Amino acid sequence: MCGIAGISGRGNGGVADAMINALHHRGPDSKGTACLRDIAVAASRLAIVDLAGGAQPIYNETGELCIVFNGEIYNHRALRSILEQKGHRFSTHSDTEVVLHLYEEYDAKCVQQLRGMFAFAITDGERLFLARDRLGIKPLYYALLSDGKTFLFASEIKAILAFPEFSPRVDMQALADSAVLGHPIGTSTFIAGVRTLAPGHTMSVTCNGHPSVGEPVRYYPVGIERRGTLDMLEAERALEDALDEAVRMHLDADVDVGVLLSGGIDSTLMALLARTHHGASIKTFTVADHARHPDVVQAQFVATKIESVHRSIVPSFDEYLAAVPAHIAAEESPAELTALPMFLLSRRIAGALKVCLNGEGADELFGGYREYLDRPHKMSTLKRRVEVALRAGIRPSPQVELVMENLRSPPSYEAYLDAIFDFNLADRLERYHLNGVDKLAMAAGVEMRVPYLDDNLVSLVRGFPARVLVDPDLGIGKYLLKRLCIRKFGPEYLPIVLRRKLGLPSAGARHMEKLDKLCNEMLPSDYLSKHEFGRYFESKLRLLVFEMFVDIFTKHRGNPAPVGTVEDFIGARAGAKI
């Protein structure tokens, strides 16, 4: 796991150094820079596989190709064996070098053989080749300056902002789209001029003085091709084998791997499977804002069953409040603070281990949200948000309108299910969940792995009939996953299987309510109405977070320190000390 960055143009090695210094948190173990022709690339490394070797950048045998890589390739040993049979020779045992030789053998098609999470860049003469994993587990951003002379890429936006000639400002269309969907759509970000390479895409840039940026090329199909019929027991058995293999492969590392427990079905099943493959007692962690939170209680039950070394993390409100600016800087988004507990958890466990398994993606893959069972609720929610936005003079992009049409137009419930699965496994999963999971954990130097998004598992489940995954007649989401858990591990897990979904903010709900109350009491009553961006937000807290985001990124280029504390920020707008 690493942070990667690069810039076109001769003599930019110093800029590449500055960019990678902005990503030191992603790879505190080592860093390196390479300058080749018209391209400078850099990497900061978190050593997980091949601890002694694997320092980046890595070159091929002739020195003609160079790679900087972020992620994990879970089938790298099998790929290495194939490449060795073709005559390739390796100098390390890292998965990064395997990717480089795979590119040498197959060019851009190399990505089709990778099983894992990744974002990487390869320099090949004047060509800069960029690639990102199928679902966008690992982030990758890029920007072409307005003068057309400089191309930059990086794992995080703040590294691009380390280039002094880039002038950061808010992308207003991304903000408008976020008012409806909760996140930007497509490849836009909240910083104008910075794009994200879409999941499942590659891109080539010719760097020879004036970089020529090619159109991104999709290598992973988006549509769902479901089997017409499938026996439920057959589906359970296929899922059991695929999920067990995914968890086993995600445990592969040269360092300890822990498991995050939320007390729900996703993390519980993942932990139960992980225990079967883990020789020693596995380390498990839970986070919540009070000791009697259902997550803490249920997670302790699971931890006792699997005999894990368990730790419940209960941050105080003061710790929560103090972390807000750093959280915004890490997530690189003016989003809700729902992921702040995970940010605090990552900070706490960083000293204990470098890698954790996370249950992210199960809701999107298996149908865990209310919208899978309640189409009218989903459509009325989106319609209300659009109406509120339009009344405020906010115009969402045509892409948002297309999303709504795709969900509104299917004539049958089955067709709607396919559409909502498609949407949630694409933009929603990447922009609303995976970006935060990666950045917030990596801000503390912790790698989060997501077994439910294993390539083979996703391909299998996407082929199941939708009604195998959810049962609308019984009103049960994640039906197949729940059946598997009970059949494999017994009825004692029924309380977890039948537990009502608590939703994203639950682990930090009390602390968020306190902060929301603080904002309502201390900020002026006309704070929203008088602010130029007030119409984009429904609460004082959301506007305050946006203001902090603007200061951190447009004034201080991703550095939260000059912004001060939340109390200072509120006090400056309230005209009083807090």
Q: What is the 3-state secondary structure (H, E, C) of 376-435?
A: HHHHHHHHHHHHHHHHCCCCCCHHHHHHHHHHHCCCCHHHHHHHHHHHHHHHHHHHHHHH
Average pLDDT over residues 496-523: 84
Percent of the chain with pLDDT over 70: 96
User: Looking at residue 578, what is its pLDDT?
Assistant: 46
Residue 13 — pLDDT band, cuts 50, 70, 90? confident
Residue 295 lies in a domain: yes
Q: Averaged over 363-378, what is the pLDDT?
A: 92
Q: Is the pLDDT of residue 504 over 60?
A: no
Q: Count of domains in the chain?
A: 2
Range with top average pLDDT, 106-110, 225-229, 352-356: 106-110
Q: Which residue has the higher pLDDT, 93 or 195?
A: 195
The span from the CA of 466 to the CA of 169, in Å, is: 42
Q: Which residues of 189-228 are buried (b: 16+ CB within 10 A; e: fewer)?
A: bbbbbbbbbbbbbbbbbbbeeebebeebeebbeeebebee
Q: Which residue has the tokens 């059949």?
A: 487
- With a cut of 80, say whether residue 280 has pLDDT above it: no
Residues 113, 239: one domain? no
Lowest mean pLDDT among 131-145, 435-449, 463-477: 463-477
Query: Is the pLDDT higher at 294 or at 205?
Result: 205
Residue-level pLDDT at 498 = 85
pLDDT tier, 244 (very low <50, low <70, confident <90, very high otherwise): very high
- Average pLDDT, integer, range 389-402: 89
> Which of 64, 65, 66 lies closest to 32 in space, CA to CA?
66
Residue 187 has pLDDT above 60, yes or no: yes
Quote the mean pLDDT of the chain: 91
Final residue of a domain: which of 178, 195, 218? 218
Q: Residues 338, 504: contact at Cβ < 8 Å?
A: yes
Q: What is the rounded average pLDDT of the residues 417-439?
A: 91
pLDDT in tens, 522-562: 999 999 999 999 999 999 999 999 999 999 999 999 999 99
Same domain as 355, residue 211: no
- Write down which residue in 157, 187, 218 finishes a domain: 218
- Domain assignment present for 563: no
The CA angle 407-186-441, to the nearest 5 degrees, is 105
Residue 426 has pLDDT above 90, yes or no: no
Q: Provide CB contacts within 8 A for 106, sequence distance 6+.
A: 112, 113
Query: Are residues 52 and 154 located together in one domain of the fold?
Result: yes
Is 261 contained in some domain?
Answer: yes
> Torsion-angle region of residue 393: left (phi > 0), alpha (psi -120 to 50) or beta?
left
On whether both 428 and 474 belong to a single domain, the answer is yes
pTM: 0.95
Are 240 and 125 part of one and the same domain?
no
Given pLDDT bands bounded at 50, 70 and 90, which one contains residue 503?
low
Residue 328: inside a domain:
no
Is 577 domain-assigned? no
Q: What is the CATH number of the domain that holds 97?
A: 3.60.20.10
Q: What pLDDT band is residue 49 in, cutting at 50, 70 and 90?
A: low
CB-hemisphere CA count at 13 Å for 384?
Answer: 7
**Same domain for 391 and 433?**
yes
Specify which of 44-48, 90-94, 165-169, 253-257 reaches the highest per-range mean pLDDT. 165-169
Q: Does 449 lie in the same domain as 394?
A: yes
* pLDDT value for 272: 95
Q: Domain with 352 in it: what CATH number?
A: 3.40.50.620
Statement: residue 69 has pLDDT above 60: yes
Give the Cα-Cα-Cα angle 211, 216, 218 (nearest 5 degrees).
Answer: 160
pLDDT band at 427 (very low <50, low <70, confident <90, very high): confident
Q: Say if 281 falls within a structural domain.
A: yes
> Quick one: what percent of the chain has pLDDT higher than 90?
71
Q: How confident is the model at residue 208 (pLDDT cuts 50, 70, 90)?
A: confident
Q: Would you call 10 helix, strand, or coil by DSSP?
A: coil
Chain mean position to CA 61: 34
How confident is the model over 377-385, as a mean pLDDT?
89
- 80 within domain boundaries: yes
Rounded to an integer, the average pLDDT of 292-305 is 92
Listed residues 478, 504, 530: the one ending a domain: 504
The least confident of 45-59, 209-223, 298-312 is 45-59
Let me know whether 272 and 170 are in one domain.
Answer: no
Quick one: 199 and 241 in the same domain? no
Please give the Cα distance from 277 to 155 (Å, whole number).
32
Q: Is residue 289 part of a domain?
A: yes
For 310-319, write each residue's pLDDT tens digit. 999 999 999 9
Instruction: Look at 242-256, 374-388, 509-523 and tell me which has the smallest mean pLDDT.
Output: 374-388
Whether 209 and 267 share a structural domain? no
* Host domain of residue 462: 232-309+344-504
Q: Where does 124-171 have alpha helices with state H?
A: 157-160
Q: Is the peptide bond prior to 28 cis by the omega test (within 30 degrees of 0)?
A: no
**Can you say whether the dihedral through the CA atoms of 151, 155, 161, 167 is positive or negative?**
positive
Whether the predicted pLDDT of 53 surpasses 80 = no
- Tell me the pLDDT band of 505, cut-offs 50, 70 and 90: low
Q: Both 44 and 148 in a single domain?
A: yes
* 440 and 476 share one domain: yes
Using DSSP's 3-state secondary structure scheme, residue 501 falls into coil
